[in-house]
Amino acid sequence: TFAKITQAAHYVPENVVSNDDLSKIMDTNDEWIYSRTGIKNRHISTGENTSDLATKVAKQLIENSGVDPELIDFIIVATVTPDSMMPSTAARVQAQVGATNAFAYDLTAACSGFVFALSTAEKLISSGAYQRGIVIGAEVFSKVIDWSDRSTAVLFGDGAAGVLLDNSGSQPLIIAEKMQTDGKRGGSLLSSYADIQTPFASVSYEGSNLSMEGRAIFDFAVRDVPKNIQATLEKSDLAAEEIDYYLLHQANSRILDKMAKKLGVTRNKFLQNMQEYGNTSAASIPILLSESVKNGIFSLDGQTKVVLTGFGGGLTWGTAIINL
Ligand SMILES: O=C(O)C1CCN(c2ccc(-c3cc(CO)ccc3Cl)cn2)CC1
C-alpha cells in the first residue's frame, strides 16, 4: 500500500500587515525588514484562532475532494500555537468538519511540524492500518509574539495549510526522509513556557512570549540543514539536480540563497512566498505547497519530485523527499 497526497489547500487571515504598517507601531522600516528577511507583508489574525484557520483548510480539502468526512481516519495538526492544550486543535477541527470516525491529535515540532506530521501520516497509511487522513500545519504566531520586540515581531505571520492523503498511491509517497532533533540547543527558540505555579512551588520564569537567539538559529539553519538535505538525497539515490523543486521552511530568503549555493542547485528551484506571509512556522511549507499547486507550478499527478525541509524550534529539522 502506498500513501498519496490527493488534495492541498491553504487559508490565511484576510488582514494584511505591511512592513510600513509595522514601522508605524515599532522602530523598524521596510528597507531593513525586506533586505534582511525577504518579507514585505504578513497576514495577522483579527480574531480567528488556530483551529478556525485549520478548519477552513480541512473544509476545502473535503469539499474539493468530495470525500465523505465520516471516511476520514485521522487528523493531525502540527502547531506550536494551539487554541488550547485540551482539547487539541485537531480535535476542534474534527468536530467542525464532522469527521466523527477520525482520531485527532496535535503534533509539536515547531517549523518542522508539517514534515514530521507528514512522515507519521504516511506510515499510518502505508502500514495498511488506515486508509485516509488529513495533515495540517496551522499557526496564529501573532498571539505568542512579543510585539515590543522588533527583532522577532517583524518575522512572523499567521496561516494554515494542509493535505488530504489516501492509500491510492501507485508509488511511495516518501522516497527518503531524515528527521533530527537537538534538545540541547532548544533554549535558543522558546515560546509559551508553562511554569510551576502552585501552593507548593513558586514561579521562576515569567516569560511566555517568543524569545529567539536570532544569530544562533540563523547559523544552525545554514550549517545543519544543508547536511540533512544531502544525507536524505544520499538515502534516496537521487542527485540534487533530479529534484524538481525544493520547498523549505520560509524563515528567511537569505537562508534559501545560502542553501541553494551549498547544495549546488539553481536558486529558482527553491520556491518562496515569505515576501507575502512572513514565517508561518508549521504552516509555511504546506502554504507553499498548496499555492504552488494552485498556481500551476506543479500538479498532484505523481510526476514531480519535491524536497520538503523544515527547521526551527526544538531544535528540530527534517527532510522528506516526496513524489507529488
Ligand atoms: O539581522 C538579521 O539579518 C536577522 C538575523 C536573524 N534572522 C532570523 C533568524 C532566525 C530565523 C529563523 C526562525 C525560525 C522560527 O520559526 C526558524 C528558522 C529560522 Cl532560520 C529567521 N530569521 C532575521 C534576520
pLDDT in tens, 108-162: 999 999 999 999 999 999 999 999 999 999 999 999 999 999 999 999 999 999 9
> How would residue 206 be classed by pLDDT, with cut points 50, 70 and 90?
confident
Separation in Å, CA 197 to CA 83, 84, 206: 21, 18, 10
The whole-angstrom separation of Cα 298 and Cα 301 is 9
Cβ of 312 closer than 6 Å to ligand 1, yes or no, is yes
* Torsion, Cα of 235, 267, 293, 94 (10° steps): 60
Instruction: Name the burial class of residue 171, with classes exposed (0-12), middle (13-18) and buried (19+) by CB atoms within 10 angstroms of its CB.
Output: exposed
With cell 512556522, the residue in question is: 281
DSSP, res 42: E
Cβ of 315 closer than 6 Å to ligand 1, yes or no, is no
| Atom 9 of ligand 1: nearest residue by CA position | 214
ipTM over 0.85? The verdict is: yes
Tens of pLDDT, residue by residue over 15-62, are: 999 999 999 999 999 999 999 999 999 999 999 999 999 999 999 999
Q: Is the pLDDT of residue 203 over 80?
A: no
Residues classed as catalytic: 111, 249, 279
Ligand 1 pocket mutation, candidates 112, 114, 212, 225, criterion most atoms within 8 A of CB: 212
Cβ of 311 closer than 6 Å to ligand 1, yes or no, is yes
CA of 221 to the centre of ligand 1 (A): 9
> How would residue 298 be classed by pLDDT, with cut points 50, 70 and 90?
very high
Please tell me the predicted confidence (pLDDT) of residue 160: 99
Cβ of 81 closer than 6 Å to ligand 1, yes or no, is no
| Atom 13 of ligand 1: nearest residue by CA position | 251
- The average pLDDT across 215-231 equals 98
Q: Are 213 and 235 in contact (CB under 8 A)?
A: no
Whether pTM exceeds 0.95 = yes
In sequence order, which residues have a C-beta less than 8 Å from that of residue 264 and are 6 or more positions away?
A: 240
The whole-angstrom separation of Cα 204 and Cα 320 is 39
CB atoms within 10 A of CB 80: 25
Q: Is the pLDDT of residue 70 over 90?
A: yes
Nearest atom in ligand 1 to the alpha carbon of residue 281 is 16
Please tell me the predicted confidence (pLDDT) of residue 196: 87
Cβ of 111 closer than 6 Å to ligand 1, yes or no, is yes
